Structure 1
Amino acid sequence: MTLLAIDCATEACSVALFDGGSLLAGEYRVMGRGHAEALVPMIAALPGKGKADRIVVSLGPGSFTGLRVGLAAARALGLAWNVPVLGYPTLDLIAAIARKRCGTQPVSVVTTGGHGEWFVAHYDAAGAELAPPLSMTPESATAACADLVVGSQAEALVAARGTGTALSLLPDARELAALDKACWREDLTLIYGRAPDARLPGARP
């Protein structure tokens, strides 16, 4: 069974095509902005223009725009190809990549959030998430994290704390095989991690 993986929830935009768990091809770009313009051409550059029997897409937390771009593309392709679309939590993939590189140990994932805050999630040595991800101030996150910290803000956190090990990581669709399939979900509700910046006129806070 072939699978198309899409991740554009953060500063990175990545796609990958798998066959039976083996990576056939993929592309990874750190670009900050421009996911909407880059994603479809990246998919089209894959073998067979990326067509697969299943699609898996990152659900966040991360950039509001990036999350919506990725999910919209996944849903559109799923409809066009008549294949199922599943999702996975962004921070779970980062934690899985960290376990692959560093072995089994507790890890905290810390990535760029909004309004100067960071998205933070903690995982035990077996890779189980200890609590849902939170949007935290850097000061609060510094006091809460494990010795091993990974993610886009890992180096900043360890530098501020003065102790621990930092591994700078962004999610990468090419590494999806590292993530336990138990983390995949049929519910494609995006995980924003915090309230949206904009509200409808008259909406209550």
Structure 2
Amino acid sequence: MGERLLAIDTATIACSVALFEDGALIGSHYAEIGRGHAEKLIPAIAQLPGRGKADKILVNCGPGSFTGVRIGISAAKALGLAWGADVQGYGCLALVAAQALDQMATPRPVCVAMLAGHGEYFLQNFSETGDPLGPFATLAPEPAAGQVKADIIAGSAAEELANAIGAKMHISILPNAAHISLVATEMKKMPAKPIYGRKPDAQPAKIA
């Protein structure tokens, strides 16, 4: 058996896992479940060849859902400890950009816009090679519209943002772990730490 890599993605309403051996995809699962990642993730991994056991684990660190990001990272770290596997992370928006570029006949710059809750977007621009053109931002629709630097918008908020600014093309898409190989190697070496993108809805109570 060659070197195996397990990819875990629970940062959005989608829950996906994928197992690779020597770079080749040998098993995957993808479902848009909304909620319930904690209940669905481990059974999905267990259905992969060899119950998903791998030498290396990659996990989506966000930005995305608070709960989803925490579940994915916690599972990756727990499995990494149990298997003695190396655990690293990747960015949600980078994977969405890579998937969008893969769908284009001729790659072009793309702006990724993901729903962030409370009417806001996670937004980041990428070049035609998938390189980020700056850091991501969490923005309301009006300022987000002014930050779009491409004719193509991709992501879960792509359609509504494209309609708002009259973009020529949009690609409605969610991250899928089965496509992690599309992301450049240097962008898959992040520490496995959460990138939430905004403050939590619930704040600790202040003690007088």
Would you say same fold, with TM above 0.5? yes
1:144 positional shift: 2.0
Q: What SS does the aligned partner of 2:129 have?
A: coil
- Match runs of 1:76-115 below 5 Å: 76-102=78-104, 103-115=106-118
Do the aligned residues in 2 keep the contact of 1:104 with 1:127 (CA within 8 Å)?
A: no
Which one of the candidate residues 153, 157, 170 is aligned to 2:157?
153
2:120 to 113, 117, 128: 117
Relative to the length of structure 1, the TM-score reads 0.95
- Alignment of 1:127 with 2:139, yes or no, is no
Equivalent-residue separation in structure 1 for 2:40 and 2:54 (angstroms): 19
Q: Secondary structure at the match of 1:119?
A: strand
Length, aligned pairs only:
203
Q: Decide whether the 8 Å contact of 2:152 with 2:167 is kept in 1.
A: no
Runs in 1 of length 4+ with deviation above 6 angstroms? Answer: none
Corresponding residue for 1:198?
202
2:10/2:71 contact within 8 Å kept: yes
Matches within 5 A, 1:1-205: 1-102=3-104, 103-145=106-148, 146-202=150-206
**How many Å apart are 1:186 and its aligned residue?**
4.5
What SS class does the counterpart of residue 103 from structure 2 fall into?
Answer: helix
Question: Does the 8 Å contact 2:120/2:140 carry over to 1?
Answer: yes
Q: Displacement, 1:196? A: 2.2
Query: Retained in 2: the 8 A contact 1:5–1:56?
Result: yes
Provide Cα deviations, 1:17-42, integer angstroms capped at 9, x if missing partner.
Answer: 00111100101000111111100000
Unaligned runs of 5+ in 2: none
2:156/2:173 contact within 8 Å kept: yes
Write the distance in 2 (CA, Å) between the matches of 1:186 and 1:105: 25
RMSD: 1.3
Deviation at 1:13, TM superposition (A): 0.4
CA distance in 2, matches of 1:150, 1:135: 16
The CA distance in 1 between the partners of 2:29 and 2:76, in whole Å, is 16
